[in-house]
């Protein structure tokens, strides 16, 4: 009776179409291994033209791991050409983790072209770990070699990948710089020895580039204004997209518009996030192609860009704040916004969380921002009291000190009065004894007292004030010993004395 074959899945991967081990070669080698070891290929997972550095873009391996961990699969083993086809992960533990997931589910991984058997023994484990490290190191060394070669070609003026940018087109040339053809978007060179250079594009794009530089350097247009103008006029950007603030900013900052071929402006090794590099690390080849704008205009644009707030560091902004403080003696939102060539107050709020925090960082006490101290305000209040003899809200507002400021600083006017020893309850008013003395004098001069008489006497307290102070006029009369009930009655006129 023939022995039954074990169902297995095969995993195939290659990085590019020019890979030494094509998908067909891998499948043929795995088939030979399956026949020799009693396996039958039941399913195939593949990742054509996918890098082995990470898992995120490898749909075939991702699906394999999902099927294995999910259960319910028909195969009992996984066949891979070698360790590098499983992946060139820079962390060897990542490759081991994915293999362990399969092993944990009862599905072992077999490396068909390797000299060791993946049986979990100590020798095979050591060799497998070494192979994983070698696979990752190969990618790292290859990346270094590729970048070195790209830098050498960039120094010769050849473009190293990427879109040409607005106003330019890519021209395919031979290794002797003999022009061949313009490359459309998405087209690539087919011969390894061919090279690519930049050439000026259509006339309308060249005119738009020059207009952008002119408006930015001569007319003083902002990036936002330039962007809005281009979009309103329906001028398409690269790939027929709309213009944005960042697209215009990159156009104004790129040296290719003065004929320089630039490479290595950013770094992105082994799938990492691209990071900008300092200008000292750039590879620049002047005169590599025909410029669109002159170097003087480009230099002026860079000077304007450098002086923009966005390009200034926190320390530069603080230094400008120190200079303004030295010149004006104080700081405020209005002073900052009025300063020429300085960032606006809103920038300090955005960058430091508030103008107060920025003032603290330069050692400036914003609480005493040109204002008088508490003692100075109280001294002014004392001087005002000495000159006027009394204090009121109207008197204070007419003087140098505002009553609202006193309330804000001390809580209330009464509290400010108390701090200078001023009895606000007797704010220029006569005392009870003074009012009674005046009442006695009026009685002595007039012989009697009445409501009308008191109100008609010039420079004398009113009857209502006496009522308010003593409760009633009768009480005030009693306090000065005046018997208002026995005041002399008014003489009545009779018919007998009329006309006498």
Q: Is 231 exposed, middle or buried (0-12, 13-18, 19+ CB in 10 A)?
A: middle
Q: How far apart are the C-alpha atoms of 86 and 95, rounded to whole Å?
A: 7
Note the helical H segments in 181-244. 203-217, 223-232
Contact present, 270 and 53 (Cβ < 8 Å): yes
pLDDT at 295: 93
Q: Which among 438, 342, 420, 422 is positioned nearest to 376, based on CA atoms?
A: 420
Q: How far apart are the C-alpha atoms of 60 and 66, rounded to whole Å?
A: 10
Kindly provide the residue ranges of all beta strands, DSSP E only, lying in 215-282, ordered along the sequence. 261-263, 266-267, 275-276
Per-residue pLDDT of the chain (500 residues; tens, 9 = 90+): 346 899 999 999 988 755 555 788 899 999 999 999 999 999 999 998 788 888 888 999 999 999 999 988 999 999 999 999 999 998 899 999 999 999 999 999 999 999 999 988 999 999 999 999 999 999 888 888 988 999 999 999 999 888 899 999 999 999 888 999 999 888 888 888 899 999 999 999 999 999 999 999 998 888 888 999 999 999 999 888 899 888 998 999 999 999 999 998 888 777 677 888 888 889 999 999 999 999 999 999 988 887 776 667 888 889 988 888 888 878 888 888 777 667 778 888 888 888 888 888 888 876 665 567 788 888 888 888 888 777 888 888 887 667 888 888 888 888 888 888 887 666 556 778 888 888 898 889 888 888 888 888 877 777 887 887 888 888 888 898 888 777 544 444 444 444 43
List strands edge to edge, sheet with 109-111: 39-47, 6-13, 77-80, 109-111
Q: Is 406 exposed, middle or buried (0-12, 13-18, 19+ CB in 10 A)?
A: buried
Residues 6+ apart with CB under 8 A from 449: 439, 442, 443, 477, 482, 484, 487
Of all helices (H) and strands (E), which one includes residue 169?
Answer: strand 168-173
Q: How far apart are the C-alpha atoms of 295 and 467, rounded to whole Å?
A: 92
pLDDT at 300: 92
Contact present, 133 and 260 (Cβ < 8 Å): no
Phi, psi of 195 (to 5 degrees): -130, 170
């Amino acid at each position: 009776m023939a022995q039954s074959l074990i169902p297995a899945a095969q995993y195939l991967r290659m990085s590019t179409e020019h890979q030494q081990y094509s998908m067909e070669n891998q499948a043929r080698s795995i088939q030979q291994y399956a026949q020799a070891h009693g396996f039958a290929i039941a399913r195939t997972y593949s990742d054509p033209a996918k890098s082995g550095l990470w898992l995120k873009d490898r749909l075939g391996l991702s699906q394999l791991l999902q099927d294995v961990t999910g259960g319910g699969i028909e195969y009992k083993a996984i066949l891979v050409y070698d360790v590098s086809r499983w992946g060139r992960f820079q962390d060897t533990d990542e490759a081991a983790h994915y293999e362990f997931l399969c092993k944990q589910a009862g599905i072992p991984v077999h490396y068909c072209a390797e000299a060791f058997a993946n049986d979990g023994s100590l020798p095979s484990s050591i060799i497998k770990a070494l192979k994983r490290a070698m696979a990752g190191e190969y990618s790292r060394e290859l990346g270094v070699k590729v970048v070195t070669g790209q830098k050498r070609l960039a120094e010769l003026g050849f473009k190293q990948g990427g879109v040409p940018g607005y106003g330019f087109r890519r021209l395919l040339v031979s290794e002797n710089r003999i022009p061949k053809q313009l490359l459309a978007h998405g087209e690539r060179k087919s011969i390894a020895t061919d090279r690519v250079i930049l050439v000026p594009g259509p006339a309308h794009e060249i005119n738009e580039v020059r207009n952008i530089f002119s408006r930015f350097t001569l007319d003083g247009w902002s990036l936002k204004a330039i962007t809005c103008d281009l979009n309103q006029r329906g001028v398409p950007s690269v790939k027929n997209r709309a213009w944005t603030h960042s697209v215009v900013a990159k156009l104004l900052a790129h040296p290719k518009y003065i004929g320089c071929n630039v490479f290595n402006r950013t770094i992105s090794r082994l799938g990492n996030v691209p990071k900008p590099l300092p200008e000292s690390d750039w590879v620049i080849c002047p005169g590599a192609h025909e410029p669109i704008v002159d170097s003087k205009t480009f230099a002026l644009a860079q000077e304007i860009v450098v002086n923009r707030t966005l390009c200034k560091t926190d320390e530069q902004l603080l230094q400008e704040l120190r200079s303004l403080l030295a010149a004006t003696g104080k700081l405020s939102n209005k002073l900052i916004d009025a300063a020429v060539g300085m960032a606006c107050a809103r920038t300090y709020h955005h960058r430091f969380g508030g103008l107060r925090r920025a003032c603290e960082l330069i050692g400036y006490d914003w609480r005493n921002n040109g204002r008088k101290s508490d003692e100075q305000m109280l001294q002014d209040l004392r001087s005002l009291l000495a000159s006027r003899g009394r204090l009121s809200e109207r008197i204070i507002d007419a003087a140098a000190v505002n009553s609202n400021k006193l309330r804000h600083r001390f809580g209330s006017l009464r509290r400010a009065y108390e701090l200078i020893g001023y009895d606000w309850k007797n704010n220029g008013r006569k005392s009870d004894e003074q009012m009674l003395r005046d009442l006695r004098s009026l009685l002595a001069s007039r012989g009697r007292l009445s409501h009308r008489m008191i109100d008609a006497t010039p420079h004398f307290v009113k009857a209502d004030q006496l009522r308010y102070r003593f409760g009633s006029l009768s009480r005030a009369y009693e306090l000065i010993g005046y018997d208002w009930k026995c005041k002399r009655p008014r003489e009545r006129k009779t018919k007998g004395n009329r006309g006498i």
